[in-house]
Amino acid sequence: MSLSNQGLATASDEVFMGTYARYPAAMISGRGCRLTDADGRQYLDFLSGIAVCSLGHCHPEVTRTIQEQAAKLVHVSNLYYTEPQTELARLLVANSFADKVFLANSGAEVNEAAIKLARIAAGPGRYQVISLAGSFHGRTLATVAATGQPKFHEGFEPMPDGFVHAPFGDLAAVKALINEKTCAILCEPLQGEGGVRPLPPEYLSGLRALCDQHELFLIMDEIQTGMGRTGTLFAHEQLGVTPDIMTLAKALGSGLPIGAMLATKEIATAFTPGTHGTTFGGNPVAAAAAVTTMKIMLDDGFLPLVQSKTRYLEAQLEELVSRFPKLLTGVRGLGMIQGLVLSEAGVAVGGAIVKRMFEQGCLINFAGNAVLRFLPPLIVEESDIDEFAAILSQVLNEF
């Protein structure tokens, strides 16, 4: 096997199922906001592994934590206690609305856990979950069913029963779907895969009111928006709405697979020994990485700096909108998850723009068939943002 982009791509395609449309680059190392491929080419990463590497690639403190923990204990079953997962759970509880935590390995798994918890806590006969059109909640059958995008359902029908979808932003439609079988409303504070669409604060407040009125659980999927991505530890903190259950993953472990489902004590008591579990959830190495990640993000000045850099990025994007009105119609997002909304002409070349950005050494993606999406590491510098804006301006000018 040749250690080159072409050699690794050829070797991979021979043995992997075709579930990914990959770019012709094999990434072999990363540092901060930069990735390097097998041919030695460097890329400015404004995708962060899709909101995962929020502290950049190979953050020195996280890397040191992983090395030290791997030398002590890599795995032990959840029949026993471990220090890293206990410390992580204590940090999550101390810095959130929640009283109890369940640890798993991914966003899909903790969303699945949240759905199971809502059903068992609501009691017999109440199993239906309302989610929103345009949402994305995972790839398991239950979380695909909860996802409000039909393209993810195709070929896997029939979908599991118990999931209905309301039009985006329509509170009356949500209310009309509530019945005696409903146990929860599931939503993202901002739809990432759905096109970087923030849910208006008044709409979220309306969902909270409906849950209170009908004794439903409000489940907030903060897998992409959580862990500092929006300038606060969790997005809902700046939106004036507190969920009953929250899910986290992606940036929690700075690249190691880990997810967390958080809930109030009253709801969490519905989970008892044997009702739910996981082999690898709360793995000592992943949990240790998450502890260090959280401590870095909770340090004085970290989140205010994210907010400051967000304003700088937004200003650059607004400038691009003013310069390229035939392709761009606006900017939308929250914190360091930003999107350039494309015109009809822009949508037609959205994929080509992303490909050209890749060719120019900058990684972004095309979300919801509507926006160019940007998820830079939270440690990004203004000089990196300047470089990104210059490359994007050059590419947009070509189109």
Token pair 């000045």 is at which residue?
301
DSSP-assigned letter for residue 32? B
Q: Tell me, rounded to whole angstroms, the distance of Cα 194 from its chain centroid.
A: 12
Q: By the 8 A CB rule, do 255 and 249 touch?
A: no
307 is in an annotated binding site: no
222 is in an annotated binding site: yes
Q: By the 8 A CB rule, do 178 and 214 touch?
A: yes
279 is in an annotated binding site: yes
- At residue 24, what are phi and psi to the nearest 5 degrees? -80, 60
232 is in an annotated binding site: no
50 is in an annotated binding site: no
Instruction: Tell me the two tokens of residue 241.
Output: 């709405």
Q: Please give the Cα distance from 207 to 216 (Å, whole number).
A: 10
323 is in an annotated binding site: no
217 is in an annotated binding site: no
136 is in an annotated binding site: yes
- Which helix (H) or strand (E) segment holds residue 220: the answer is strand 217-221
69 is in an annotated binding site: no
Q: Tell me, rounded to whole angstroms, the distance of Cα 101 from its chain centroid.
A: 18
Instruction: Tell me the two tokens of residue 394.
Output: 């050059």
Side-chain half-sphere CA neighbours of 292 within 13 A = 22
Instruction: Tell me the two tokens of residue 373.
Output: 């999406």
107 is in an annotated binding site: yes
Q: Please give the Cα distance from 41 to 37 (Å, whole number).
A: 5
Which residues line the annotated binding site? 107-108, 136, 139, 221-224, 278-279
Which residues line the annotated binding site for N(2)-acetyl-L-ornithine? 139, 278
Which residues line the annotated binding site for pyridoxal 5'-phosphate? 107-108, 136, 221-224, 279
